[in-house]
Amino acid sequence: MNDKTDTRTQILEAAMNRIVHYGYGKTTMSEIAGDCGMSAGNIYRFFASKIDIAEAMARKFNTELYQAYAEIARSDDPAPARLRAFFEYGLTHTYDAIEKDAKILEVAEVLRDERPLFFNEGLAQERIYLMQILEDGMEAGTFAPMQDPGFISEMIQSALMKFRFPQLYSLLTQEKLKRELNGVLDILIAGLKHGVEITVETKR
């Protein structure tokens, strides 16, 4: 089993090397296989399809992100500061990654088109940390009590959608995006401090 995992990792790394350099479309299964000293067919014993490699790549990227999220969530800064750090980190990290390797954007586009549900997983994961921050904030009295932190988390994500894949949704510079992100957060945080009256049915 360890062997199998190693090979998988090797394939993934070979693929990532090529993809960040040449792009998803310009990277072929044979090339990846060649880099690993195996045949293209053999890759299919480890990945069901090419797009699954892209997904694994994104999943790896996310895993690193989540670790940073976890740290931010459990820091002892006040909840509003953590909320800002949280989203600012996501923005910066993603922006820089795409800045550095522009081809990452292509991977994001392919996944958006071919694996639309994949992004929901990431959002759900993110919400775990968000809820943590919200609950801490409530406990500390920084945020007013709220009935449904899960729903509030979703709404915060919705309001900040624009900052998730910076280069995918807008052409602003990182500086401008950060300013705008914090501007939106100013309003959201004000709302959370004061207490939000939910007017919609949140049951699903």
Residues that bind DNA (CB under 7 A): 7, 25, 27-30, 33, 37-42, 44-45, 48-51
Binds a copy of itself (CB under 8 A): choice among 39, 49, 173, 202: 202
From the list a copy of itself, DNA, none, partner contacted by residue 57 (C-beta under 5 to 8 A by kind): none
Binds a copy of itself (CB under 8 A): choice among 91, 152, 165, 166: 152
d(CA 19, CA 4): 22
Q: Are 54 and 110 in contact (CB under 8 A)?
A: yes
From the list DNA, a copy of itself, none, partner contacted by residue 69 (C-beta under 5 to 8 A by kind): none
From the list DNA, a copy of itself, none, partner contacted by residue 7 (C-beta under 5 to 8 A by kind): DNA
Binds a copy of itself (CB under 8 A): choice among 40, 48, 70, 187: 187
Q: Does 83 bind a copy of itself (CB under 8 A)?
A: no
From the list DNA, a copy of itself, none, partner contacted by residue 45 (C-beta under 5 to 8 A by kind): DNA
Q: Does 161 bind a copy of itself (CB under 8 A)?
A: yes
d(CA 171, CA 18): 26
Q: Does 120 bind a copy of itself (CB under 8 A)?
A: no
For 14-38, letters b (16+ CB in 10 Å) and e give: bbbebbbeebbeebebeebbebbeb
Q: Residue 16 CB, nearest distance to a copy of itself (Å)? A: 28
For 93-107, letters b (16+ CB in 10 Å) and e give: ebbebbeebebbbbb
**SS3 helix, strand, coil % of the chain, rounded to 5?**
75, 0, 25
Q: Does 31 bind a copy of itself (CB under 8 A)?
A: no
Is 42 or 174 the residue whose CB approaches DNA more closely?
42
Is 49 or 147 the residue whose CB approaches DNA more closely?
49
The token duo for 25 is 């479309």
Candidates 93, 110, 97; CA nearest to 52 is 110
| Contacting residues for 35 by C-beta, under 8 A, at least 6 apart | 14, 17, 18
From the list a copy of itself, DNA, none, partner contacted by residue 168 (C-beta under 5 to 8 A by kind): none
